[in-house]
Amino acid sequence: MSNLQVFVYGTLKPGECNYERYCAGKVVEEERAIAFGELFSLPAGYPAMIPGSAEIHGFLLTFPDSTVLQTLDNLEGYDPHRPEAQNEYNRHQIETYNLSGQPLAMAWTYLMTPAQVRHQKGVLLTSGWWSRLKNNE
């Protein structure tokens, strides 16, 4: 088996509420990273990312194998056998970059559909950074 990389931008980031439960002790490497999309803060208290061209700041987490995906899929409300519109998030592979803009790796991430973000009344975060611990835009 080879390493699995996941780009996280919300509650799974180091220091956020779901990191300890889902990632701590399982991650073999974590690196600040950038991906491209649009980031929204949701009234439910967590963020959503949709496709777009703005810089989204998060972390590239490296796991030793893919066994963590089922647990992350459950957390994110993703079932690969359901239509996209029935999932809370959908898992996609995206390109990630280091803070200097150099390519890092293709990584899994969880995206919402623009319709779901509108339905949940998401607020665009132009900074590209979300944190439950700090004030968001």
Q: How confident is the model at residue 137 (pLDDT cuts 50, 70, 90)?
A: very low
Q: How confident is the model at residue 1 (pLDDT cuts 50, 70, 90)?
A: low
**CATH class (in words) of the domain with range 4-124:** alpha beta
Residue 136 has pLDDT above 50, yes or no: no
Q: What are phi and psi of 135, to 5 degrees?
A: -65, 135
**What are the extents of the domains in the chain?**
4-124
Dmax of the chain from CA atoms? 40
Q: Judging by DSSP bridges, how do beta strands 29-41 and 4-8 pair with one another?
A: unpaired
DSSP β-bridge partners for residue 63? 4
pLDDT tens digits along 11-22? 999 999 999 999
**What distance in Å separates the CA atoms of residue 78 and residue 87, rounded to the nearest whole number?**
5
